[in-house]
Structure 1
């Protein structure tokens, strides 16, 4: 079906709802890390298996999920993704009943599979649906919905799981997840049915959005790995999701490790996501009228480097707030990366999107490494040294990497 650039507001609203759902489920992980660490008496490394189980599914399932999206189309792929996520949230119920941390991890992995399909379908859909030069602006709007939902989930789920009187019986603590995750399951199933029945989402063509001459170049290339901007973009996205998840999901535990009461620290993740929302709003205002998406990305990653150094050199609440400011620094990197990495891919867009989604595994591996470093050196603060080379590579991609069209 032909893509009408002047008629994409309705579909973008629907995609925005999906990004809200993704954000609500994704950013509750920071709360779950602290909750499971207490309920199961875990060390840092074991507690960050939450993010590992959740995000590693992106690497394992990205290519199969791209095949699913290619077979079903964007719309049906999104509906299927929501149903898979509902299966994952439902697994939390027997996991709580059995007091089984491994089963909780299975539930998180299953949710991650559904999110992999959803990311594979929704991100390129938002990129292709309008002019490519303003793609970062559209994805920034999606980011506001995503992080706004994350703030809500951190506050609501955090209050349910981390507030109140702590029970001496771990089983009583784990029962706190039953009602919220039953509600989440119902919402996901209902939304899947709505997406399936709606006529607002039309299929769009990747090739139609390319400028003149691009398709001719695409025909001459036989593999996505012949596009340096994509391959380097995958690596940059791996680094980005690593720093994004570290900033959002370690901040609560970091605050607690510094002696800040858990009742106060439980909202720290919302500060990080709030910073990201502010960054998205600024990006919407500035891109592309006043600054290009790649220039903003370079600024953001450079700011991340500076703020991380300050976090390492300061102490207490000041250091924690520096980690929260990383949310602002991270905001526009994701929406700027996608169009730069997908530029010129044409008919390879769906498989290229799957490779980019595989880069989300940075959110699985980097927090686990962070936890391992923190345990080995006995310092949750010095472990943030890990993010410095990650930001440095993103700066390289913004300055040089995305411009490479041949190896």
Structure 2
């Protein structure tokens, strides 16, 4: 066929995938902003998840608006891919620049508005960039280009948390971020937790003493609250000098009580503004980058795909109904749940790592774990991206083992260069090997792959809940990124199978379901907040830890969708074409 002779327009395609990098950079950076906003705006966990909600709700609303406008006039045919993509970039630039007044005003609603506008721009870019990537060359290699673009997107998700973390907290301290010494006694661990909290409160007290603010009452209350907490900490540290491990239970409970009180201190607005001003710089740079790429896109030699005359609607498409295609109806829910669980695992990870049982890791040391989670998606997608290259079967198999570890090395290197200790991550190749072996088992069969990875996600979440060593348990949760990494194309392939001329319409409905990334984290965050009123937790663990039952339910549905949809399609006489993985 003629399509197979079309060469990939690499010079054009490389400029396009910069946009994919931006999507990943911002989406993953949100997970650093969540604990920061939670701390300085004194938010509950469910309130902090409004960050994810604002960003992903924008995808839904933007897609709906685009769909409604397209009913009257085909936007892409009228304005072209380049202009539409540039328009989306300009919208995102406006949202990025709004971070400056949001930080100046120290307004959480303003920050949410800014993120929402960034997400609106991304929704336009998402609608344009995906089909444009596919059409930049032969149709037969379109999925491979999308895979490669997805790999670049995942590079953005890996680097984003590191860059924003440096902007907010400075370069890391390898001693401060080193894993807990296994030789420490339980008493020493509790003492260190109290000491770390004391250091943070002492630092805040010094800042407040030099603060110029008209909020005298708030300032006095903040200082009084800090003094009260420091007094309890000093008493506990003094008493712990003579305590054995067997006498620790009341002190662990006391630490949790003091930490909750410390995180509930309301600081003067000027204090909050000072700390949030650090958010400005990365988003100013991001806004400028959006504008530069928008201008570049307008003037670059990127050919719009040939304009196609719209075919007259057939009687079948006039009567298009989602319910007529169960694979699509179930697939919309699958996309909703997939994006939701992908975001929810990591959005609530800072709260989990901040608990006593998971090491009381503070905000300035969260970035490496966020980076490892999103980097896990990069590992999985680069594994699938090996199929982009025309290699022999033996070389392909070898690359599928080598490339994931190259991606892992990039994660380690980026975190190391940011000043963080990464020795705790050396155990993670165990999960990478499990993923690689399962990817061979699933092969190119979308249903089988989705079912296997859904069950793998269930197993990992369950093990994360019950594993006694919490230094290991957290990696079971983080490995959720590996098993989410190639779910998007599997779901998409199954959902649009057999839809014929209704495929485009179905795709727009599927993109709308990205909304799940804003809803499911709220549900998990709601469960986390039971710790505020029930400090004893449930089943011997905190509610924040227990909240990871939500991903279990999500993975269960995804496994079910992978199992049932091929059977539905078989009844319709639809034969699935095995395809390579692409990525969202």
- TM-score, scaled to structure 1: 0.88
* 1:9-24 correspondence runs (5 A): 9-10=9-10, 11-24=12-25
* 1:112-131 correspondence runs (5 A): 112-127=119-134
Q: Does the Cα contact within 8 Å between 1:234 and 1:359 map onto a contact in 2? A: yes
Pick from 357, 362, 386 the counterpart of residue 550 of structure 2.
386
Helix, strand or coil for the counterpart of 2:544?
coil
* 1:260-299 correspondence runs (5 A): 260-285=361-386, 291-294=443-446, 295-299=448-452
Equivalent-residue separation in structure 1 for 2:566 and 2:88 (angstroms): 30
Equivalent-residue separation in structure 2 for 1:233 and 1:4 (angstroms): 30
Q: Across the two proteins, how many residue pairs are aligned to each other?
A: 400
Q: Say whether 1:398 aligns with 2:399.
A: no
Pick from 190, 193, 197 the counterpart of residue 292 of structure 2.
190
Shift of 1:28: 0.4
Equivalent-residue separation in structure 2 for 1:101 and 1:245 (angstroms): 20
Equivalent-residue separation in structure 1 for 2:561 and 2:101 (angstroms): 44
The 1:207/1:281 distance shift into structure 2, 3 A limit, reads: farther
Q: Does the Cα contact within 8 Å between 1:310 and 1:322 map onto a contact in 2? A: yes
Helix, strand or coil for the counterpart of 2:548?
helix
Shift of 1:287: 9.2
Q: Say whether 1:254 aligns with 2:352.
A: yes
Q: 1:310 maps to which residue?
A: 463
The 1:5/1:248 distance shift into structure 2, 3 A limit, reads: farther
Q: 1:341 maps to which residue?
A: 495
Q: Does the Cα contact within 8 Å between 1:3 and 1:204 map onto a contact in 2? A: no
Shift of 1:21: 1.1
- Structure index of larger Rg: 2
Return 243-252 or 51-60, whichever deviates more: 243-252
Q: 2:51 maps to which residue?
A: 50
Equivalent-residue separation in structure 2 for 1:66 and 1:180 (angstroms): 32
Shift of 1:346: 4.5
Q: Does the Cα contact within 8 Å between 1:218 and 1:346 map onto a contact in 2? A: no
Return 131-140 or 114-123, whichever deviates more: 131-140
**Which digits, 9 at most, give the CA deviation of each residue in 1:291-341, with x for residues without a partner?**
215033332222111111111112522222112111111100113223332
The 1:227/1:301 distance shift into structure 2, 3 A limit, reads: same
Equivalent-residue separation in structure 2 for 1:194 and 1:4 (angstroms): 29
The 1:75/1:297 distance shift into structure 2, 3 A limit, reads: farther
Shift of 1:133: 7.5
Return 228-237 or 94-103, whichever deviates more: 228-237
The 1:157/1:370 distance shift into structure 2, 3 A limit, reads: same
Equivalent-residue separation in structure 2 for 1:54 and 1:33 (angstroms): 12
* 1:8-407 correspondence runs (5 A): 8-10=8-10, 11-67=12-68, 70-71=74-75, 72-127=79-134, 137-163=144-170, 169-203=271-305, 220-222=316-318, 223=320, 225=322, 226-257=324-355, 258=358, 259-285=360-386, 291-294=443-446, 295-314=448-467, 315-376=469-530, 379-401=543-565, 404=568
The 1:310/1:127 distance shift into structure 2, 3 A limit, reads: farther
Return 74-83 or 59-68, whichever deviates more: 59-68
The 1:16/1:182 distance shift into structure 2, 3 A limit, reads: same
Shift of 1:286: 6.4
Return 389-398 or 84-93, whichever deviates more: 389-398
RMSD: 3.0
Q: 2:534 maps to which residue?
A: none
Shift of 1:44: 0.4
Q: 1:212 maps to which residue?
A: none
Shift of 1:95: 0.5
Q: Which structure 2 residue ranges, 5 or more long, are not aligned?
A: 172-202, 209-270, 394-439, 532-536, 538-542, 573-584
The 1:206/1:133 distance shift into structure 2, 3 A limit, reads: farther
Return 278-287 or 250-259, whichever deviates more: 278-287
Q: 2:6 maps to which residue?
A: 6
Shift of 1:270: 0.6
The 1:68/1:9 distance shift into structure 2, 3 A limit, reads: farther
Shift of 1:130: 6.6
Q: Does the Cα contact within 8 Å between 1:25 and 1:153 map onto a contact in 2? A: yes
Equivalent-residue separation in structure 2 for 1:268 and 1:218 (angstroms): 51
Return 148-157 or 283-292, whichever deviates more: 283-292
Equivalent-residue separation in structure 2 for 1:131 and 1:298 (angstroms): 30
Q: Does the Cα contact within 8 Å between 1:206 and 1:347 map onto a contact in 2? A: no
Helix, strand or coil for the counterpart of 2:383?
helix
Equivalent-residue separation in structure 2 for 1:365 and 1:217 (angstroms): 35
- TM-score, scaled to structure 2: 0.63
Higher relative contact order (CA 8 A, sep 6+): 1
